[in-house]
Structure 1
Amino acid sequence: MKKYILISLILVTGCFSFASCNLISSAGFNSKGLPTPDMKDEVSANTNSGVQLDHSAWDALLKKHVQEDGMVNYKGFQKDREELDKYLQMLSAQEPDDNWSNAELLGYYINLYNAYTVDLILRNYPLKSIKDISGPWTKEFIQVGDTEISLGALENSILRKMNEPRIHFAINCASISCPKLMNEAFTAGKIEQQLEKATSEFINSGKNEISEDSAQLSAIFDWYKGDFTENGSLIDYVNQYSKVKLAPDARIEFKEYNWNLNEVN
């Protein structure tokens, strides 16, 4: 019995050391009743949406403080704290329901995740890594109407439940190895093109090293492998976007993740 308990403690401790990976998807997260429609049959914009949000304030902040390569000027964001707070207040005032189109919901959730991640960094700035913050993915600091949720719940119990694996390349965890923070807001009208761009850019970036016979892939493909392999192998998924096509028997390994802050020098 003592041996069993010791092994269990080791596994739990190891799990949380990986922070944002899907190993914590069983850590008690839930959607708190927020809508999580299945995106398999509809990703493009739907003109029947009961709500059409204006993300122009976030778009302007991203264009001003995020470089094309995704590196972030957090000092600049600090100077525009009032504008960011107003945008966060607008997001938090929303109460998503089934009247929203799938595209409107997806754009809202992605922007919610990214904007509140920037907010989290600013509230703890300066720092070297998001992992220096206590419980960055488990604290329920995101307000959506009368509901409080965590970044982990937003990712694992809402976005991932929508069966759209490209969200992994749209949300940003403020770290060097993360897919870059896009310097534009996600919107319902452009969501399909934006997801395609984010996925293609990440897979063909230096965060993956791909040749015909082998690949060193981002750890994201390891942590969330099940999200990418529902309709085929991991190689099949990568080959949809990679400029260099992997052979069916290519050797796959995964890179060590760099959690250092994605800050402009």
Structure 2
Amino acid sequence: MKNLLRSLIISAFAITLQSCATLAAGGITSQGQPTKQVEGTLTSTTANSTVNVDHSAWDRLLKKHVDSKGMVDYKGFAKDQKALNAYLDKLASLDPNNDWSVQELLAYYINIYNAYTVDQILKNPNVTSIKEIDGVWTKGIVTVQNRKLSLGGIENGVLRKMNEPRIHFAINCASISCPPLLREAYTAGKINEQLERATKEFINSDKNTITANKVELSSIFKFYTKDFYRGSNESLIPYINKYSNVEVRGDALVTFKDYDWGLNNQ
């Protein structure tokens, strides 16, 4: 009886560990990272943080290998793999914590997500879609202070918990239907303006079809619907109207476009 009880306890413990690992990989937990929230209106500043991260190396790579439409020259990027690795090593050596400002945290996690996404494509040069890479969003491929994080964890367990829905237009999943990869690194000193521009450009792009009476939206709004609700209004239209060049009626029909997971290769 004692052996049976012991076996049951060990099995239960193993299941608990497996469940925790699954939750972390899926992005439900923060994987030990800080999740400071944006309070009120986000402002761009470097003055309120114990750390100001230099993202200039990533900025140079983006300007060199990303075009004005956000499409990526992966073959060119591959020639600069050493520079990309050096940048990733630099980010890995840092230890994000609550002494960092919300601006620094947003810029850090957006940039590390985008940089590791590019790195995954470079490591799998024959793929035609990021979805062909096994476990690309669930495996611990991102290194931060000797901890292994997943891309899904960074998106869902960290960035989405920071009360800033514009992050959905800043992180790039290396796909045609994704928001374009910005040709510059996100920084605390420009974060609000960068997020605002990325959001406005995406909503008014061909990724959405917007008229006064009907809107056909990117599936991003379907995947993360509740992130875009404003106040208690369970509707996407108020958020769309905040950025759209066309005023949409409150009772307009809302549908969603199919998502093109093809590689965003130049």
Runs of 4+ in structure 1 over 4 Å off: none
Q: Which has the larger radius of gyration?
A: 2
SS at match of 1:188: coil
Q: How far apart are 1:215 and its partner, in Å? A: 0.8
Q: Which residue number corresponds to residue 194 of structure 2?
A: 194
SS at match of 2:207: coil
Q: Which residue number corresponds to residue 61 of structure 1?
A: 61
SS at match of 1:252: strand
SS at match of 2:171: coil
Amino acid in structure 1 at the alignment position of 2:252: A
Q: Which residue number corresponds to residue 248 of structure 1?
A: 250
Measured in 1, the distance between the counterparts of 2:32 and 2:40 equals 22
Within-5 A mapping of 1:80-229: 80-229=80-229
Amino acid in structure 1 at the alignment position of 2:262: N
Q: How far apart are 1:95 and its partner, in Å? A: 0.4
**CA deviation string 1:99-145 (max 9, x = no partner):** 11110110000000000000011011121000011111101110010
Q: Tell me, yes or no, if the aligned pair for 1:40 and 1:164 is still in contact at 8 Å.
A: no
Q: Which residue number corresponds to residue 35 of structure 1?
A: 34
Measured in 1, the distance between the counterparts of 2:254 and 2:24 equals 24
Question: Given the superposition, is the C-alpha separation of residues 27 and 64 from structure 1 closer, same or farther in structure 2, using an over 3 Å criterion?
Answer: closer
Q: How far apart are 1:235 and its partner, in Å? A: 0.2
Q: How far apart are 1:146 and its partner, in Å? A: 2.2
Q: Tell me, yes or no, if the aligned pair for 2:230 and 2:239 is still in contact at 8 Å.
A: no
Measured in 2, the distance between the counterparts of 1:96 and 1:157 equals 14
Measured in 1, the distance between the counterparts of 2:241 and 2:193 equals 18
- What root-mean-square deviation, in Å, do the aligned CA atoms of Structure 1 and Structure 2 show? 1.4
Percent identity between the aligned chains? Answer: 55
SS at match of 1:154: helix
Question: Given the superposition, is the C-alpha separation of residues 85 and 26 from structure 1 closer, same or farther in structure 2, using an over 3 Å criterion?
Answer: closer
Q: Tell me, yes or no, if the aligned pair for 2:33 and 2:96 is still in contact at 8 Å.
A: yes
Amino acid in structure 1 at the alignment position of 2:67: Q
* Structure 1 segments unaligned to the other structure (5+ residues): 1-23
SS at match of 1:215: strand
Amino acid in structure 1 at the alignment position of 2:254: I
SS at match of 2:189: helix
SS at match of 1:245: coil
**CA deviation string 1:19-60 (max 9, x = no partner):** xxxxx9994642122110111336222512100011001000
SS at match of 1:112: helix
Q: TM-score, normalised by structure 1?
A: 0.88
Amino acid in structure 2 at the alignment position of 1:80: D
Q: Which residue number corresponds to residue 7 of structure 2?
A: none
Measured in 1, the distance between the counterparts of 2:40 and 2:47 equals 16
Q: Tell me, yes or no, if the aligned pair for 2:26 and 2:153 is still in contact at 8 Å.
A: no
